[in-house]
Amino acid sequence: MDIRFLESFVAVADCGSIAEAARRLNLTPAALSQRLRTLEQDLGHSLVMRAGRRVRPTASGLAVLDHARALIEGARDLRAIAAQDEPAGQLRLGAIATSLTGLLPGIIARLRARHPRIEYHIRPDSSVNLYHGVIAGDLDAAVIVRPQFPVPKSTGWLTLREEPLVLLVPEEAPGTDPLAIVQNHPFIRYDRNQWGGQIVDRYLRQNTLKVREWLELDALDAIAGLVSRGLGVAIVPDWAPPWPEGLRLRKIALPDAGGRQTGVLWNLSGARIAAMQAFVEACRTPARGP
């Protein structure tokens, strides 16, 4: 049985569309359909069926889906194991939104130049979810906000960037005293369900700052855009560039604010340990200037 045929089946099950799965796998829809037919013949059962404009697994397809994922994962592990000390195989990485554009591209560029046999699957999500993904073994590593509690001994942590809290104010807003500004303007709050938002909330409470909150969300670039439009002020971590273009705002340093640490959390063991160590080394390497 060809592992690529299992990958095709899993892609169709995930996408709900043969055309979309074919695009993801860089195949023609006809080629992907042929792979499915061959796999169904090998197993002796239909694996997918049409439901309106969508495609979904049959009862037999659902029964084998998790096993197919495990076989695919096992095959990727075998490639990494066979490579022995040479970094190879697929790294399963996670990244918060700001690191997807600010930190991860440079890290992967450095790593790919050194170890072209490493492949990547990147999952964007919140720090909370990515942390649990690493702990559960679903991810090899993730670029997240450092948790406010000790990480397990089965994992490693490397701080990539210190990000102090700053006050964002519209470009034309008067005043320079950040504590007065934050209490006298509508306040856009960084979501308290996020670890970074909890750091902001702790700063407000420690300084007994009463804010005129009217909006709470977890998208930092959207918060910056709202401030730029004059819709309020916000306290956010000074995240790694790039920031959205065309913003009309000012950043004001906050006294004794602290901030968040963004870094990489990784598993210290596993079949892809050589690739994982290479990834961490690429994280340690300073980015070169233009």
Tens-of-pLDDT digits for all 290 residues of the chain? 788 888 889 889 988 999 888 888 888 989 999 999 999 999 999 999 987 778 899 999 999 888 888 887 777 666 656 655 677 778 899 999 999 999 999 999 999 999 998 889 899 999 999 999 999 888 999 999 999 999 999 999 999 999 999 999 999 998 889 989 998 999 999 999 999 999 999 999 999 999 999 999 999 999 999 999 999 999 999 999 999 999 999 999 998 888 999 999 999 987 778 888 999 999 998 655 44
Residues near 118 by Cβ (< 8 Å), separated by ≥ 6? 87, 88, 89, 90, 91, 111, 112, 275, 278, 279
Tokens of 230: 């004059």
Cβ neighbors of 253 (< 8 A, separation 6 or more) are 164, 166, 167, 178
User: According to the model, what pLDDT value does residue 290 have?
Assistant: 42
The per-residue pLDDT for 83 is: 54
> β-strand 89-95 against 141-145: which pairing, if any?
parallel
Q: What is the pLDDT of residue 273?
A: 84
This prediction's pTM: 0.74
DSSP state of 256: T
- 38, two tokens: 């061959």
127-135 and 195-206 helices cross at what angle (nearest 10)?
130
